[in-house]
Amino acid sequence: QQQVKQSPQSLIVQKGGIPIINCAYENTAFDYFPWYQQFPGKGPALLIAIRPDVSEKKEGRFTISFNKSAKQFSLHIMDSQPGDSATYFCAASQGGADGLTFGKGTHLIIQP
């Protein structure tokens, strides 16, 4: 049972475009939704996160949109740059000591 479904699997966008990565979850007990960014040869690093009591959160060029009723959330990257090329993972957790449940990842390429 996949609890967090992420799409697309891969994405190619021209520099300056707005890549959008989508995730859907099933467990309504999830209360924390982070996005992680991973460069080749490195571990994932927290990019931005949201709680279900808000519908949108912005940090620099990165925005999370959250739709609680649809059980979906998405990552938007404004004015994308080649340096944003990486693998992006959405995740969810329901607190406690448990770890995060991750989506399968999106390999993003920003072309110059």
Q: Which two tokens stand for residue 64?
A: 């999370």
- Please identify which residue in 9, 14, 28, 81 interacts with other proteins, judged by CB under 8 A: 9
Does the protein bind other proteins through residue 61 (CB under 8 A)? no
Cβ nearer to other proteins, comparing 41 with 112: 41
CA–CA separation, 82 and 111 (whole Å): 6
Place of tokens 């690093």: 45
**Site size for other proteins (CB under 8 A):** 24
- Residues facing 39 on adjacent strands: none
Instruction: Kindly write out the interface string for residues 71-110 of this chain, putting x where it contacts other proteins by CB under 8 A and - elsewhere.
Output: ------------------x---x-x-xxxxxxxxx-----
Pick the closest to residue 53 from 23, 73, 24 (CA basis): 73
Q: Return phi, psi of residue 82, to 5°.
A: -55, -30
Residues that bind other proteins (CB under 8 A): 6, 9, 32, 34, 36, 41-46, 49, 89, 93, 95, 97-105
